[in-house]
Structure 1
Amino acid sequence: MNFKSFYFRAAFPIVLFIALSSIWSCRKAKKSATDSSSETTEQAHMAQQALVHRACRFADSVGIDTSRYAVTTTDAEDVIQTKLTNLLTEIQYGKKPSRLAFSGLREDRDSTKQTAATDAALRDALEKSTTFAPYRQLVARYNQLRKQTTNSPALADSLRLIRQTLNFYRYVNRFDADRFVLVNIPAGELNVYDRAGTRLLPMQVIAGRWDHQTPCMTTYIKGIVAYPYWNVPKSIVLNEMLPRMQRDLSYIYNQNLQILDEKGRELDPEEIDWDGLSTTYFPYRVRQASGCENSLGLIKFDLENPLAIYLHDTNSRDLFTRTADRWRSHGCVRVQKPVELANLMLGKPAFDAGFMNRCLIDQKPKPLAVPQKVPVFITYNLADVDSTGRLIVYKDVYGLAK
């Protein structure tokens, strides 16, 4: 027998045993690694589910419908991640209110926080969503009502209205501003808030009446005008003014109205063929001259929007004390404290305390530039807290809650 052949036959079983042992060890190590990886993945999956559950508990306490964010053990990781990201976004930024007729503000939210569905992101969302004082107070009132044992339609309705307002305050977080103006139509109020929710300048307002409703919007003050003209909307000219002017031209002079042609030139009312005019044929514009009798008063706040809605003073300031009816305009918003609001928006005392009483004659409109765009929210919140934190449910003046 060849020595090499003998050596190979003798060594082969040993080599085979070593090879098989090595393969078995590798497979065992691989299985162990796979089991360990699977266990780690399962733990991460469970941790993610737990994070969603914690976020849902908090969201439920601030009036968010969490049913669409519920997760199960069979949900894939990307599904859970998406739900958690969307929930964190709603906790911090809310949903866009359904009643907005115009959205004129650019959102300025931190998109990096929305994609980071982690414990840190959850803490950040919770912290930022509770910094605004009226929001915190309203959350407290909401949870107090939820604890009531009575199950009445009135209670359910109040909770629903509070949830809508809480969502609005979360929505405001989308616009990073040091201060903003909030007009709440049902309350007949205007407030200027800072970041903490401090009321810098509360006042009453007169909004549109039922048949000339003030629209909800997000916009900003783009300028202020002292001694403004009132360019009368065509609908008011045709439906309200034209019949009076046709009956008696003295109405034009008594109201300080100016009739303008298509080139903006003022015309003599005596030279116009009033009998030939109608609601379908009126080739003129009507403008009210500036002054104390102007319907806009002495100060106008131009708002960016295509609906011809703005804030302004009024020539009937006694309405704020003579009546509780805060819904009697054609849609624009009359403000109780125009001088204070203008000075705050301009960042300087451009108008002194006696400005409203001097009423100078033959004044031309004087535009004033605002140093920065201050957001303005015109909203319809039927439930909110007052300056003391007390819950108030306002009258549904436009019947929008039905």
Structure 2
Amino acid sequence: MDTRGRKIGIIVAVVAGLVILFFVGRYFITNKTEKSNQAKIEKEKEDLSEKETRQLAQSLHEACIYAASVGIDTSRYATVADADQNKAKLTNMLLELRYGKKPSRLEFNGLKESVDSLWATKANPSELTTLATFGPYKQLAAHYSRLQKSGATNNPGMADSLRLIRQTLNFYRYINRFDPDQFVLVNIPAGELNVFDRTGKRLLPMQVISGKPDKMTPCMVTYIQDIVMYPYWNVPQNIALDEMLPRMKRDLSYIYNQNLQILDAKNKEVDPEEIDWDALSETNFPYRVRQASGCENSLGLLKFNLANPLAIYLHDTNSRDLFKSTKDHWRSHGCVRVQKPVELANLILGTKTFDADFMNKCLIDQKPTTLPTKKFPVFIAYNVADVDAAGKLRFYNDVYSLDK
């Protein structure tokens, strides 16, 4: 029994050893295979990462070429060795291509901006040429590219022209932050107002008269709040004191001839004959001056109120002949006189509220009537370089000497 027991013990020990040897060997073989596979996976990841890095750098390079062709300074977007930096640069460039930068001359923005940052992470750089859909922008970009390729960029005059075009191209990109279906664009140097749709079609072109050089019309992004029929002209205090007070003190007939009303602190009209004019001065004038509504009102028969703290608005004028008799379209105190107020009002209101005879009827004893309207975007810009209705490149007079 002892011998047999020893034999059984030896057999068990041998079997156990074989089993242990099998599993140990299997462990080492599996471990080696796993390490080999892991090394292979890491190599594949590294190769893929290098490929993606090269592709990203190539995409950024291609985007830079296109961006430069539409007037964007690409020096800050140059490719580097770091993939994360290239990715961030590509995203920022795509956002600038679509939304531009805030124009430096913008004094007020009354519209909410909307920038889709997520779009830039999904956009295909190879499809950038399809990004621009606004007609004047595409035409201006084509002129920029043509001049850029002319080989005369070292010429000071050409360099200045390209700089002016770049400013306007950026302005058109900036409009995309608001995505308007229709909007009013006043271009001060051109002396023009256009109503555009989102494709760039000019729905209602007209002339305007804006501020003179010492009373510049400010650049702004805003909207039309409402339209006033037969408006009062609430004379700005600086005009009342600097221009009107000396004339009123010399001759009260000036007040009656200009249909002016003198209002006290309670907004009640005061009889000019009962005022001690000798006691009044620029520092002592407890009144407000208002011009009564009617045909002779300086604002004409229609006023387009704009949302802004600068007291700037669009309006008709009692001197409509100026649009034909002079080329000086920069002679107001800052507000913008429009050539076609009836057409503009009807377009904004979305219905033919005023007929062609409205401007000629000039009804008497009318009080101001406010017509509510939807928020209609208005951009007042200073674009010396632009394209006209025919797509021709134009350089307008730098009337405010802002681009010297």
TM (norm. structure 1) is 0.94
CA contact (8 A) 2:185 2:196 kept: yes
Separation in 2, partners of 1:212, 1:140: 35
Tell me the residue number matched to 1:154: 157
Separation in 2, partners of 1:326, 1:42: 60
Q: 2:105 aligns with which of 76, 99, 114?
A: 99
CA contact (8 A) 1:223 1:369 kept: yes
SS of aligned partner of 1:369:
strand
Deviation at 1:124, TM superposition (A): 6.4
Separation in 2, partners of 1:56, 1:248: 67
Q: 1:273 aligns with which of 273, 276, 300?
A: 276
Summarize the Cα distance change of 1:313–1:12 in structure 2 as closer, same or farther, 3 Å threshold: closer
CA contact (8 A) 2:66 2:128 kept: no
Deviation at 1:112, TM superposition (A): 3.0
More moved, 301-310 vs 16-25: 16-25
Deviation at 1:47, TM superposition (A): 1.8
CA contact (8 A) 1:49 1:80 kept: yes
Cα-to-partner distance string for 1:210-231 (whole Å, 9 max, x where unaligned): 0000000000111111111000
Tell me the residue number matched to 1:285: 288
Cα-to-partner distance string for 1:100-141 (whole Å, 9 max, x where unaligned): 111001123434313x2442xx3666423x211101110111
SS of aligned partner of 1:218:
strand
User: Which residue identity lines up with residue 168 of structure 2 in the other structure?
Assistant: T
Matched, 1:180 2:183: yes
Tell me the residue number matched to 1:84: 90
Separation in 2, partners of 1:137, 1:237: 45
Matched, 1:112 2:118: yes
Percent of matched pairs sharing the same residue: 61
Separation in 2, partners of 1:64, 1:253: 57
Summarize the Cα distance change of 1:353–1:9 in structure 2 as closer, same or farther, 3 Å threshold: closer
Matched, 1:140 2:142: yes
Cα-to-partner distance string for 1:188-238 (whole Å, 9 max, x where unaligned): 000000111011110100000000000000001111111110000001011
Larger Rg: 2
Q: 1:41 aligns with which of 30, 33, 49?
A: 49
**Which structure 1 segments of 5+ residues have no match?**
none
Tell me the residue number matched to 1:53: 61
Separation in 2, partners of 1:393, 1:19: 81
Separation in 2, partners of 1:191, 1:14: 87
Q: 2:28 aligns with which of 4, 14, 20?
A: 20
**Which structure 2 segments of 5+ residues have no match?**
1-5
Summarize the Cα distance change of 1:10–1:96 in structure 2 as closer, same or farther, 3 Å threshold: closer
CA contact (8 A) 2:223 2:375 kept: yes
Q: 1:223 aligns with which of 223, 226, 245?
A: 226
User: Which residue identity lines up with residue 147 of structure 1 in the other structure?
Assistant: K
CA contact (8 A) 2:263 2:270 kept: yes
User: Which residue identity lines up with residue 97 of structure 1 in the other structure?
Assistant: P
CA contact (8 A) 1:228 1:296 kept: yes
Separation in 2, partners of 1:177, 1:339: 22
Q: 2:380 aligns with which of 368, 378, 393?
A: 378
Separation in 1, partners of 2:140, 2:130: 16
Deviation at 1:76, TM superposition (A): 3.8
TM (norm. structure 2) is 0.93
